[in-house]
Copies of this chain bind each other. A is one copy, B any other.
């Protein structure tokens, strides 16, 4: 049994979309019991794509697995009181809450903290001023889409990955664990808020990309799949596949030149251009010439031949794969890596990710699909001591849902 550092902790969650739910999924993998409180008909992401052929949300089911799902009418006063009571329920390992609400005053920090002073409260926001924001709108405001895409392509190119949601979600994991650390050391709770837009702007700033624009060179232009300031490019193989080739270090560069047999050509080019390609700066400056020199080597080989030739060469590269290819390879694997398959009644075969933070080199996994609302009565009984008559009344009154 691998060590789960958060075993024994209970986290309450009331959120939707990616950032919050992904953070609580991670907490569950690290050992916490996660109790997800949702509106009685589900949050705004309950039917979000991708869907199964039967219309079940793979998105919701994947991000929210391994959690205990509680459905409460959060518009009713009685439902709001139940949610507050759960979140602030006693127990030294409880009192942890992750949420992304806008305009639910009954979940405001001061309201909850009045009921439990040592609450660890992590609030995920769009903007730090309380305004809305999602990955797509926030990303537009970072400058990234105008740097992304083929050279000379007009207009912004968005990445499809909700990268900011993922970084923000991981920051929420940090915030929860930091709250636990702080409470263990001081006995005090912690209120932490994280805005998606702040996550994005701070990350780009901390790469130096805003400072860069203040230099004489100014704005960075689009550069396709080239790696800025070094050598990296995509190549097409004889069988129409693609590979990403990088030569960031001097050694990687030497290996690439050697395996492609271009030593003499590169030497002659260095002499005629009076440059030194062992410096990555120069490889970047002449990236298009270098790309065109390597292009035929890849175009003459199938992806399989490229892989065979690069094997053991010390070149740092990766084959482009489609999502379906990744999925099939994972299904066919021995399931000892980060991707695992689990079976769900509603979603069929699911491919899910283990926790990438390995403890003592072991993966922390999870295997429990979540059924919406299924744990409502069990959680209310365990945490608030409600008996079956009371639970029946709440259910009949439409205050709670689920089983």
Residues of A within 8 A of B (CB): 3, 5-6, 18, 22, 25-26, 30, 44, 47-53, 58-59, 61-63, 128, 132-134, 136-150, 153, 155-163, 166-168, 170-171, 173-175, 177-182, 184-185, 190-195, 197-199, 201-220, 223-225, 227-230, 232, 234, 236, 242-244, 246, 248-249, 280-281, 284, 316-327, 330-331, 337-339, 347-361
23 A-B Cβ contacts within 8 A?
A3-B190, A22-B206, A50-B211, A50-B229, A62-B205, A140-B320, A143-B323, A146-B320, A147-B160, A156-B234, A156-B244, A156-B320, A160-B228, A171-B173, A171-B357, A193-B358, A198-B337, A198-B338, A202-B339, A202-B353, A204-B353, A205-B353, A215-B348
The one of B175, B206, B229 in contact with A62, judged by C-beta atoms closer than 8 angstroms, is B206
Bound-state CA distance A320–B224 (Å) is 19
Residues on B with C-beta less than 8 A from A191 are: 359-361
Residues on B with C-beta less than 8 A from A141 are: 318-321, 326
> Taking the nearest CB of chain B, how far is it from the CB of A98, in angstroms?
13
Does the CB pair A52–B322 fall under 8 Å? Answer: no
Bound-state CA distance A53–B263 (Å) is 32
Bound-state CA distance A359–B361 (Å) is 32
Q: A170-B174, A246-B134 are in contact. Are A353 and B236 (CB under 8 A)?
A: no
Does the CB pair B246–A137 fall under 8 Å? Answer: yes
> Taking the nearest CB of chain B, how far is it from the CB of A351, in angstroms?
4
> Taking the nearest CB of chain B, how far is it from the CB of A400, in angstroms?
24
Q: A133-B318, A184-B184, A202-B354 are in contact. Are A159 and B156 (CB under 8 A)?
A: no
Does the CB pair B58–A140 fall under 8 Å? Answer: no
Bound-state CA distance A201–B338 (Å) is 7
Residues on B with C-beta less than 8 A from A195 are: 338, 356, 358
The one of B5, B44, B218, B351 in contact with A324, judged by C-beta atoms closer than 8 angstroms, is B218
> Taking the nearest CB of chain B, how far is it from the CB of A364, in angstroms?
10
Residues on B with C-beta less than 8 A from A358 are: 128, 192-195, 198
> Taking the nearest CB of chain B, how far is it from the CB of A157, in angstroms?
6
Residues on B with C-beta less than 8 A from A244 are: 136-137, 139-140, 156, 158
Residues on B with C-beta less than 8 A from A316 are: 132-134, 137
Residues on B with C-beta less than 8 A from A134 are: 246, 248, 316
> Taking the nearest CB of chain B, how far is it from the CB of A339, in angstroms?
6
The one of B171, B182, B205 in contact with A352, judged by C-beta atoms closer than 8 angstroms, is B205
- With both beta carbons as reference points, the residue of chain B lying nearest to A225 in the complex is identified as B158
Residues on B with C-beta less than 8 A from A53 are: 215-217
Residues on B with C-beta less than 8 A from A58 are: 208, 211-212, 215
Q: A5-B190, A215-B53, A228-B49 are in contact. Are A317 and B137 (CB under 8 A)?
A: yes
> Taking the nearest CB of chain B, how far is it from the CB of A156, in angstroms?
5
> Taking the nearest CB of chain B, how far is it from the CB of A179, in angstroms?
8
> Taking the nearest CB of chain B, how far is it from the CB of A104, in angstroms?
15
Does the CB pair A146–B322 fall under 8 Å? Answer: yes
- With both beta carbons as reference points, the residue of chain B lying nearest to A193 in the complex is identified as B358
Residues on B with C-beta less than 8 A from A229 are: 48-51, 59
Bound-state CA distance A141–B242 (Å) is 11
Bound-state CA distance A38–B340 (Å) is 37
- With both beta carbons as reference points, the residue of chain B lying nearest to A324 in the complex is identified as B213
Residues on B with C-beta less than 8 A from A18 are: 207
